């Protein structure tokens, strides 16, 4: 068994590094397995073992006959998303986020593991390092999803994924006055405060930090849409 685990590790590590370096957006499609094997120098067997591990972690999802995609498997099918989006406004999306995500932050502070906290920290650092808005938004999404995952509550994570899927089809991209996130972008400080509260096992502060962050996001998004 030890030999099997050791044989799997290079494939998993190579895949993680590839996903990080390429900075795929949520639901972005990965290259075909044949191309991945060539790029990463892996056998088809090792690649598939690595993909299976990442899929179990919610890092990717696979659609038979169509390919492999970044992020957790969507809870809704396309027709469900289209229907909910047609009945939902950006204001309603932000109200839903404010109702759900502070509680996710609270539970993450109570139930998160060291591995969960490391993932949240990584996403926070990648947000700060982003050199363009598209990359920042991808890592911002992963940051919030990592907090949801740290609750270790499958039902709540599914609710988050549903909300997030509708959000991405309802709240269109904001008009940006800069080509990259400025050094004083409010979310940098807010993410840092949120991370510290969660890692510090302070559930009340974690919930309030998320609430403060989402109110700032709400004001910025709605102002952009109304301008």
Which domain CATH number covers 34? 1.10.10.10
**Residue 65 reports pLDDT greater than 80:** no
Higher pLDDT, 22 or 208: 208
Q: Are residues 150 and 57 in the same domain?
A: no
Query: Do 211 and 148 sit in the same domain of this protein?
Result: yes
For residues 42 and 57, what is the distance between their CA atoms, to the nearest angstrom? 21
Residues 122, 196 within the same domain: yes
Tokens (6 digits) for 94: 């932000």
User: Could you say which of 32, 48, 70 is where a domain stops?
Assistant: 70
Residue 79 has a pLDDT of 65
Q: Is the pTM of this model over 0.85?
A: no
Structure tokens, 120: 């949240």
- Look up the domain containing 21 and give its range: 10-70
Per-residue pLDDT, 152: 96
Task: Answer for the pair 185, 130: CB distance below 8 angstroms, yes or no.
Answer: no
Distance CA 192, CA 61 (A): 29
- 32 lies in the same domain as 122: no
Burial of 6 (0-12, 13-18, 19+ CB in 10 A): exposed
Is residue 24, in this structure, part of any structural domain at all? yes
**Rounded distance between C-alpha atoms, residue 69 and residue 216, angstroms:** 30
Same domain? 17 vs 86: no
Dihedral of alpha carbons 154, 157, 163, 166, sign: negative
Residues 44, 88 within the same domain: no
Q: What is the pLDDT of residues 83-137, one digit of tens each?
A: 887 888 889 999 999 999 999 999 999 999 999 999 999 999 999 999 888 889 8
The residue from 53, 70, 87 where one domain ends is: 70
Does 66 have pLDDT greater than 60? yes
Q: At CA 168, angle to CA 165 and CA 171, rounded to 5?
A: 135
Q: Are 23 and 138 in contact (CB under 8 A)?
A: yes
Cβ count within 10 A of residue 29: 13
**Structural domain ending residue among the three candidates 70, 86, 111:** 70
| pLDDT over 90 at 160, yes or no | yes
Distance CA 182, CA 131 (A): 10
The residue whose two tokens read 């405060």 is 193
Task: Please check whether residues 109 and 190 belong to one and the same domain.
Answer: yes
Residue 85 structure tokens: 């989006």
How many domains, the chain? 2
Is there a domain that residue 4 lies in? no
Q: Summarize pLDDT for 40-53 with one digit per residue, the tens.
A: 999 988 898 889 88
The answer to whether residues 99 and 37 belong to one domain is: no
**Residue 175 — pLDDT band, cuts 50, 70, 90?**
low
Residues of the chain above pLDDT 70, percent: 89
Work out the mean pLDDT of the chain and round it to a whole number: 86
Sign of CA dihedral 212, 216, 218, 219: positive
Evaluate whether residue 3 is within a structural domain. Answer: no
Residues 91 and 65 in one domain: no
- 2 belongs to a structural domain: no
| pLDDT value at residue 95 | 96
Say if residue 40 is in the same domain as residue 151.
no
pLDDT at 227 over 90: no
Weakest mean pLDDT among 31-40, 97-106, 177-186: 177-186
pLDDT at 2 > cutoff 70: no
Give the domain CATH number at 170: 1.20.120.530
In a domain, 206, yes or no: yes
CA gap 101, 191 in Å, rounded: 13
**Torsional class of 67: left (φ above 0), alpha (ψ -120 to 50), beta (otherwise):** left
At 7 the pLDDT is 43
Share of the chain above pLDDT 90, in %: 46
Residue 147 pLDDT: 98
How do strand 60-63 and strand 67-70 relate by DSSP bridges? antiparallel
- Both 127 and 219 in one domain: the answer is yes
1 occurs within a structural domain: no
Could you tell me if residue 5 is inside a domain? no
The answer as to whether 181 is a domain residue is yes
Confirm if 47 and 8 have CB atoms less than 8 A apart.
no
Range 197-206 average pLDDT: 99
pLDDT score of 8 more than 80? no
Whether residue 143 sits in one domain with residue 113: yes
For helices 90-111 and 154-170, the axis angle rounded to 10 degrees is 150
């Amino acid at each position: 068994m030890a030999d099997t685990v050791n044989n799997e590790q290079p494939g998993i590590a190579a895949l993680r590094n590839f996903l990080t370096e390429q900075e795929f957006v949520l639901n972005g499609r990965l290259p075909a397995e044949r191309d991945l094997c060539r790029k990463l120098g892996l056998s088809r067997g090792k690649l598939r073992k690595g993909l299976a591990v990442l899929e179990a972690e919610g890092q990717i999802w696979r659609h038979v006959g169509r390919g492999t995609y970044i992020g957790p498997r969507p809870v809704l099918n396309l027709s469900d998303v289209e229907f909910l989006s047609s009945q939902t406004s950006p204001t309603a999306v932000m109200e839903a986020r404010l109702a759900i995500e502070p509680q996710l932050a609270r539970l993450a502070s109570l139930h998160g593991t060291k591995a969960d906290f490391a993932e949240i920290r990584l996403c926070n650092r990648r947000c700060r390092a982003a050199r363009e808005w598209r990359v920042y938004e991808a890592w911002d999404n992963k940051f919030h999803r990592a907090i949801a995952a740290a609750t270790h509550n499958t039902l709540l994570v599914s609710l988050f994924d549903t909300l997030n899927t509708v959000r991405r089809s309802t709240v269109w991209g904001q008009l940006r006055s800069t080509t990259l996130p400025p050094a004083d972008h409010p979310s940098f400080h807010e993410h840092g405060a949120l991370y510290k509260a969660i890692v510090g096992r302070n559930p009340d502060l974690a919930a309030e930090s998320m609430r403060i962050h989402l109110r700032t996001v709400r004001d910025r998004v709605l102002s952009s849409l109304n301008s």
